[in-house]
Amino acid sequence: MHGNRATGSDHEIIEWQVNLLKQGVAGGTQVVGWNLAAMLPQGKEHAEKLQRERARGRALMGVESTGDNVESEDDWCQEALGRVLNIAAQLITTCTPSTRWWNDEINKRSSELGK
């Protein structure tokens, strides 16, 4: 404690009171991705081969490319890479925050404590 202000130090007891009747729904965002760190070299080679096969025959972007060309290519790249990674990498799903009881009120109080 510093004066009348809580410091969040691990040497002090911090007490919060939470009204359980007012609990809101956790505002977590579901994140879907791939565990690239766990890919073996064979998986990386397989993914690169699949991507080369999918990209074969596609026109390259150049100075004459329009905004629509670039946007279309961006969409294609995202879709193609997603399909390749779905085949070659382990899909992971997380929820941030990962605890279901965490909500906006707790987030606000936690932020205030740090100030």
Q: How far apart are CA 50 and CA 85, in angstroms?
A: 9
Per-residue pLDDT tens, the chain, 115 aa: give them: 456 666 666 566 666 666 656 555 555 566 678 888 888 888 888 888 888 888 888 888 888 888 888 888 888 888 888 888 888 888 887 765 556 667 778 778 888 877 6
Question: Which among 48, 28, 37 has a CA at the least distance from the CA of 98?
Answer: 28
Judge if pTM exceeds 0.85: no
Backbone angles phi, psi at 42, to 5 degrees: -65, -40
For 61-75, b/e burial (b = at least 16 CB within 10 A) is: eeeeeeeeeeeeeee
User: Is residue 79 a contact partner of residue 22, using CB atoms and an 8 Å limit?
Assistant: no
3-state secondary structure of 32: strand
